[in-house]
Structure 1
């Protein structure tokens, strides 16, 4: 399988390659995984107090809100309510209902890359990249229904992902409010951390996926890509089982 790799905000393709390095090494042990990294086109700058967390510049993002700002949350301030969907909806409201009107052009660019490469058949995304990956899976299905374009992506690996963006309207989709037509039916693996303060966002995304084809792997940490060898090897084995099931189907 060849994975389209989409990084989180305040990162670069070079930085994400390093972050994902241990997982790539472990997953490639059988020689059946390849990776194609794509970064956003919007240059951004992290808050000064958090700059050290993101490593050296430059930093990029895929999307920029035309209204509202979910980036206003400190990790400890994210709402915790009776369900992931209620928490996410409150966070969106506090952030003034952000809208990302450039999502259509972002998805169009990514689909052109997938089509041009020809052999990309899966996607990996972390944080914002997980959100964009989920949006891409939805957009592929929308284009299948509307234009007859057959989806190329057969698997999504989503690290600390957030709910997708509506590919037309640009708002953050919350599964209990948005139409069932936006359910993600492609097999997915949701890599989460029990200590992630934004865990509810990842669970909203998981709940938007087909329960028969989606899996959860909890590394027990925070909003991060695991790098400890034992955890990474276990995760790679977990993902490889999904890959084998798809290839053998």
Structure 2
């Protein structure tokens, strides 16, 4: 068993094949002393995946956060075969896997949200088994899932405290639907449910930049900040842009201590 020290975050990210969709859990606890664990002096990030941290596109960011013992990582991968979705094709080769059928369209089939509810249930089980968590970090589809999950929980349990104390969104869209070849259309009725401190990080060259802004506007302006890295719809691996993201995460961690 581990001992809680500092903030605990859960992060969601979407990757194709060797870069599978991953839930990254940033935790405040010290790892156990087993051979494959890393002791964190600040907060730890736990994820669950077949892949090691450096084998996926968040490797540079993870390395930066581990450099000063800010975080450790393990992964939870998505297993639903899906289309690349907005912003992914051209950055990563397929096939692609998500937490639910993605992207959703306006078709009759996609009006059934049972697969999304199953994804939410999977996250709830992860929180119950590995948490409690202080925050959530989402990249791309992972951010969409994270936002939808928090909004769903707030709607279902309006009198309960927020599930997380803070959130980090990287190149993330609000819950949306889109037809093939069309632009995403943000779902209605999302406002007023995310009132925790949030950091929104977007790529200056991301063709979906406006959707990062849309998610930012859905969150409480009082507690939200917006940062921009110099790349597109990806998690940068160069030192300068990784530092921008890592700094934002460290500031948020300090804010909720």
Instruction: Give 1:52 deviation, angstroms.
Output: 7.3
Deviations 1:14-57 (A, max 9, x none): 5694211111222234424344422223123659xx87742475
Q: Please state if 1:120 is matched with 2:133.
A: yes
Provide the residue aligned with 1:217 in structure 2.
227
Q: Please state if 1:141 is matched with 2:154.
A: yes
Question: What TM-score does the superposition give when structure 1 sets the normalisation length?
Answer: 0.71
Q: Which has the higher helix share?
A: 1
Provide the residue aligned with 1:7 in structure 2.
13
Do the aligned residues in 1 keep the contact of 2:196 with 2:220 (CA within 8 Å)? yes
Identify if the C-alpha distance between structure 1 residues 201 and 100 changes in structure 2 by more than 3 Å, giving closer, same or farther.
farther
Instruction: Give 1:132 deviation, angstroms.
Output: 0.4
Provide the residue aligned with 2:173 in structure 1.
162
Provide the residue aligned with 2:24 in structure 1.
none
Q: How many residues align?
A: 210
Q: Please state if 1:110 is matched with 2:151.
A: no
Q: Please state if 1:24 is matched with 2:62.
A: yes
Following TM superposition, the consecutive aligned residue runs of length 4 or more in structure 1 with deviations greater than 6 angstroms are none
Do the aligned residues in 1 keep the contact of 2:150 with 2:163 (CA within 8 Å)? no
Provide the residue aligned with 1:82 in structure 2.
none
Unaligned runs of 5+ in 2: 1-6, 21-48, 178-183
Q: Which has the higher strand share?
A: 2
Identify if the C-alpha distance between structure 1 residues 231 and 211 changes in structure 2 by more than 3 Å, giving closer, same or farther.
same
What secondary structure sits across from 2:256 in the alignment? helix
- The RMSD of aligned alpha carbons is 3.3
Aligned match for 2:197, one of 181, 187, 202? 187
Identify if the C-alpha distance between structure 1 residues 100 and 222 changes in structure 2 by more than 3 Å, giving closer, same or farther.
farther
Do the aligned residues in 2 keep the contact of 1:64 with 1:100 (CA within 8 Å)? no
